[in-house]
Structure 1
């Protein structure tokens, strides 16, 4: 077995969450290695919905080329809730699209390219098999084509998915709810007879969701709420099993042609009791798992990665104490619990029975109330997320995700340029923005060399503010002294 190879961070899992976290860590200067069992990006149908807050956050970090801000504000995007076409998700003017349809594979391609551009290492065909923590780092054994090798790092991020091993190897417990429903997904070339209705369709026995997937294929999803799948999760699903479930739901004998991909899933729910144990942290499905309704899983994982990466990078660089990592769990675990709550609510509406149908009718009426519509849309899209403040004062601004807007920047030579919030955040580090009438109030910020100060002619409601790299507000004058806030979020001066 080879000797230890030191890096700053090892990321277990090369899916979208792991690759994004690693790309961001590398952007901040961390030496990072990703360990991924797959030899290449999987092209199988997986997640394909990125919700508004995740889209906004990715654009602010310079991802999603071609997804530009729309200054007049896009029209609200229609979206299903529990199969009901009742939601319309809006975003503030200047923000990107409310719902982005982008395949998981395409996202992984982009994040992997950024990782490699920034000097990160991706070990494909390797998987974590053992780990050991010590006071100053983590020793990780990975297994690949050439046998076992040892990697050593300051921290390990477990982004290895629902069936990953890092959570268990680190001894992190979780709250788990067993499955109560059976669901499948298949990519098929033909259906005989062609009787499956397109879109969402409910029957007395379950649900089908059918859409075109290219010129000659259909993507079919099924849901039976009468009980969990009888097969163990280790039994590979096939077209015959999908045919049988389709037949039970539709009441029609269905024959499927070529089915290059079939998968099985359920509503097993799991939320890790902690997102950090020592030098091991969890993100994405490794930390939280729920029934995949509403397209929230991928977006939640994206926000995990963007929240964690800048904090972990500062800690491994010695710029901030390890306690900063505690804010990751404090901010992201409650968000995961909200997602679980909403997916369970949707599944409750999708079950069979007259009571559920009555609830669906009342819920549809409720969604005609603007305040109720806004609340549910905000939760589904992630736009209701506000991070808990740390200033210890009644503060309405700290933790808020600052909306996009145009800013007129005033330079020391007297010139002026125009930028946006996204344009400022793409530089990478935290930003102190001094609005008109507050120039010079942040002079003490010069003791933090990586905090960029920008003076704008644009009036700001808060006068001045500090933005974290992930777009959330770290300080406004109502939070108290600026230097105390900078040390609280970004470490000691210098």
Structure 2
């Protein structure tokens, strides 16, 4: 069988791999994507995404497309946090928002985007071997196909074969909690709370029993949203879908009663792990998404993995096109490793909050819930959940440097760097002239401006902000060759 050559091979066609392929295509690189499953999967996993990735998708023109396929395109900003609730609805500038979209639909949207931009997606191609030398990586599939590339990126999940073949350890903890979630119709009950014989009225929130935790989101339009958490000494296969009978049995074990349930609209099951790859790169092999890190709480992992893809794509493209400065690819691990550490910190805090069962733990949850009534505390915690508290190292000392760029009118739809001149500074535009083959220079004068100019990377993070032309040249050289 002939050998296929490519600049980049992406292993895994989940959300992270598909967005990486799309971002590479946007940057002028046509990747090959290998996916072991022959058809798209419909196993319920993530039920939405949120945080900083929504801002990035808006820049790329994808947010409106995402909302058209969502079950809930703009849910109220209320989020669980380790057994308490973070309610951001009273904030005029909530730092965390979400879009309620099943993962299968998200993957279809991202697959369409990747194919539109030239990705070569090959389903039913399972990788079985990987070798690399100083110049290339060679991948072999179970069907006997050989592919060589300059770079390989493992986006192939928690059990990543790419990570294993690259010899990268994945230390951490698997918690014994099994989480089950269901949206089911409730015949004859349009909305409101549930009165359960032997338990009483169930209001929105969490009910702790000797059997575990029952979470209840109320009944709206005849649909019940509920969850259970139990400790079980078993590790489930993520590809094995949960059944309604399994959820009924779990509710019975936790509450000790039956709940009325009709037609299932969504059923999912997951277990929490706290793991991080010892490194994100082995020479020409990279890891992203769940192959690189697993978080012990909901609401952060998908956001984190998709932002991995956006961070890595433009840097790989710079290498392919020959203008990457020395060490640019090394910043992928340092930046995204830092972002993962921040995400792990707040999700580990959720573990401490939710797993305690004694009166002291219950008191801790009550105190945290009381503190979250303060707008400042709620805003800060919401920013942590969103990943908005991440700031990368950069050139200069301006407060914007390293942060996600504010909405200043820059067009980032093409995933190219942008120098935004906000003060009509001809000297700054002249300083950037040697980079205009790879950096777009735009003048958009603003009276109320945070800086005279802002240099924005393709991943929407600020590489530099300020007034000094010499400092701008240094930033352009550091980031764009």
TM range (shorter): 0.7 to 0.9
Q: Does 1:398 align with 2:401?
A: yes
- Residue 458 of structure 1 is matched in structure 2 by 446
Distance 1:476 1:188, change over 3 A: closer
| Map of 1:476 onto structure 2 | 465
Q: 3-state DSSP class of the match of 2:105?
A: helix
Tell me the residue number matched to 1:44.
43
Give the counterpart of 1:246 among 240, 244, 251: 251
- Within 1, Cα distance between the matches of 2:134 and 2:47? 40
User: Which residues of 2 match residues 210-225 of structure 1 at below 5 A?
Assistant: 220-224=226-230
Q: Deviations over 1:176-221 (max 9, x none)?
A: 1132323234566779998775854322232233569998876653
CA–CA distance in 1 between the matches of 2:4 and 2:349? Answer: 47
Q: Indicate yes or no: 2:107 matched with 1:108.
A: yes
Q: Give the C-alpha shift of residue 366 in structure 1.
A: 1.3
Q: Distance in 2 between matches of 1:489 and 1:129?
A: 36
Change (3 A) 1:164 1:75: closer
Residues 182 and 48 (structure 1 numbering): CA distance in 2 closer, same or farther, change over 3 Å? closer
* Contact 1:4-1:150 within 8 A present in 2 as well: yes
Per-residue CA distance 1:8-55 (angstroms, 9 max, x = gap): 111111011100000110111112011112233323322123223110
Which secondary structure state, in structure 2, belongs to the residue aligned with residue 102 of structure 1? coil
Residue 230 of structure 1: which of 227, 230, 233 is its match? 233
Please tell me whether residue 20 in structure 1 is matched to residue 11 in structure 2. Answer: no
Measured after TM superposition, the shift of residue 483 of structure 1 is 2.3
- Cα distance change of structure 1 residues 192 and 476 upon mapping to structure 2, 3 Å threshold: closer
CA RMSD between the two structures: 3.2
Q: Are 2:284 and 1:310 equivalent residues in the alignment? A: no
On the 8 A contact 2:188/2:222 being kept in 1, the answer is no
User: Given the alignment of the two structures, is residue 154 of structure 1 paired with residue 160 of structure 2, yes or no?
Assistant: no
Q: What's the offset of the Cα at 1:160? A: 0.7
Unaligned runs of at least 5 residues, structure 1: 69-73, 406-419
Aligned residues: 459
CA distance in 2, matches of 1:349, 1:122: 42
Cα deviation digits, residues 357-406 of structure 1 (max 9, x gap): 100111012112333222111101122221122x3x5443321212114x
Aligned-partner Cα distance in 2 for 1:371–1:260: 37
Partners of 1:395 and 1:478 within 8 A in 2: no
How high is the TM-score relative to the length of structure 1? 0.84
Change (3 A) 1:285 1:199: farther
Q: Deviations over 1:313-340 (max 9, x none)?
A: 1112211146211111111112112222
Counterpart position of 1:412: none
CA distance in 2, matches of 1:316, 1:4: 20
Going from structure 1 to structure 2, the CA distance change for 1:53 and 1:258 (only over 3 Å counts) comes to closer
- What's the TM-score once normalised by structure 2's chain length? 0.86
Q: Per-residue deviation at 1:444?
A: 2.9
**Aligned partner of residue 328 in structure 2, secondary structure:** helix
Q: Which residue of 1 aligns with 2:331?
A: 327
Determine if the alignment matches structure 1 residue 342 to structure 2 residue 346. Answer: yes
Q: Distance in 2 between matches of 1:349 and 1:97?
A: 20
Aligned counterpart, 2:159:
163
Unpaired runs of 5+ residues, structure 2, are 68-73, 197-201
3-state DSSP class of the match of 1:481?
helix
Q: Within 2, Cα distance between the matches of 1:220 and 1:12?
A: 34
- Give 2:199's aligned residue: none
> Structure 2 CA distance, aligned partners of 1:358 and 1:211?
22
Q: Offset of 1:258 from its aligned partner?
A: 7.5
